[in-house]
Amino acid sequence: METRQLGTSDVKITPIIMGTWQAGKSMWVGIEDAETIKAIRAAFDVGITTVDTAEVYGNGHSEQIVAQALSDVRDRVTYASKVFANHLKYDQVIEACESSLQRLKTDYIDLYQIHWPSGAFKSEIVPIEETMSALNKLKEQGKIRAIGVSNFSPAQIAEALQYGRIDSLQPPYSLFWRQVETEAMPYCVQNNISILAYSSLAQGLLTGKFGPDRKLEEGDHRKNNKLFKGENYQRVQQALAQLRPIAERHQCTLAQLSLAWLIAQPQTNAIAGARHAEQASQNAKAAEVKLSDDELQEIDAIGRQVTDHLDNNPVMWDWDS
């Protein structure tokens, strides 16, 4: 698979990135470590050499699983991890990074990201200058190679940029969730910041496996996802029906079509998780699907049938419901 430059850094990433939130198990159901390890390894075997994880995914369990899957090929993979909103004081950032390095069994993390802005999830407010100071120190020490942010607004990115280089933004972004396009994407293009889209398959909706009557199990965090509720879910089903003929034209799956559309957007790369090896292999094939300008516009219009009815809140979940 081709690689792309991460922002202005010397880090190279694949346009399809292996996501490992599910590897942490917390907030997911039916996840088996052995299957996750096989999936991560399968992704590597078919050319997905960039893996995204975070300290908060299962309290570090995801990072440990990534290490089990890829330690023997560490020199050929790009690791991206994140520090959570409750660890943004100077000493906490340093300590969190050291812990992630140990769990990942590596001397350096290629991309280290602020997972959520200070204050998120009722965390203590920490000046971004203090957090960036710690990240810059880690970069000077060679423990991280690039700094990124996740779930930041353009204004928050601009403030962080006053204190150091930001090479990536990780927002929720898919054909069915597109708030990033309004302000953040133009800002990222202007400032040469790579977009690493998470929930790039709308948490599985864009695979087409969730039919009109599908019920989610208890413990599955998607029960709180706005796209899985009421009229939004009905619009999703209608849009999927219109996408299927395009996928059939390209002899690809709905997921591959959706990922191909996403990585054709400005500055955009897609994080896609997988429970099983076959899913990981199938995700990689999205990079081979070439869409014409007319097809990109057609898919764009289908997606808007869902997104035009959503509010401007960039958070995909109603956590309190």
For residue 132, CA distances in Å to 91, 96, 219 come to 12, 14, 35
73-82, 92-101, 204-213, 289-298: least confident range: 204-213
Residue 212, beta-bridge partner list = none
Residue 202, Ramachandran bin (φ over 0: left; ψ between -120 and 50: alpha; else beta): left
We report the CATH number of the domain holding residue 108 as 3.20.20.100
Number of domains in the chain: 1
The whole-angstrom separation of Cα 178 and Cα 197 is 10
| Residue 60 burial class via C-beta count within 10 angstroms: exposed 0-12, middle 13-18, buried 19 and up | buried
- Residue 5's nearest CA partner among 63, 112, 78, 81 is 78
For the chain, give the longest Cα–Cα distance.
Answer: 54
Residue 90 is a catalytic residue: no
pLDDT band at 27 (very low <50, low <70, confident <90, very high): low
- Residue 134's SS3 state is helix
What's the pLDDT score for residue 144? 98
Confirm whether 185 is domain-assigned: yes
Residue 268, beta-bridge partner list = 195
Tens-place pLDDT, residues 183-226? 999 999 999 999 999 999 998 899 999 888 767 776 676 778 88
Per the CB < 8 A criterion, the answer to whether 267 and 188 are in contact is yes
Confirm whether 316 is domain-assigned: no
Confirm whether 73 is domain-assigned: yes
What's the pLDDT score for residue 29? 61
The predicted model scores a pTM of: 0.94
Confirm whether 299 is domain-assigned: no
- Helix or strand holding residue 149 (H, E): strand 144-150
Q: Phi/psi at 158 (nearest 5 deg)? A: -60, -40
Confirm whether 317 is domain-assigned: no
The whole-angstrom separation of Cα 206 and Cα 148 is 26
Tens-place pLDDT, residues 34-78? 999 999 999 999 999 999 999 999 889 999 999 999 999 999 999
Confirm whether 223 is domain-assigned: no
Domain range for 25 is 4-210+254-290
pLDDT band at 25 (very low <50, low <70, confident <90, very high): low
The whole-angstrom separation of Cα 210 and Cα 228 is 9
Tens-place pLDDT, residues 238-274? 999 999 999 999 999 999 999 999 999 999 999 999 8
What DSSP assignment string belongs to 230-265? HHHHHHHHHHHHHHHHHHHHTT--HHHHHHHHHHTS
The single residue of 57, 79, 112, 173 carrying the catalytic annotation is 57
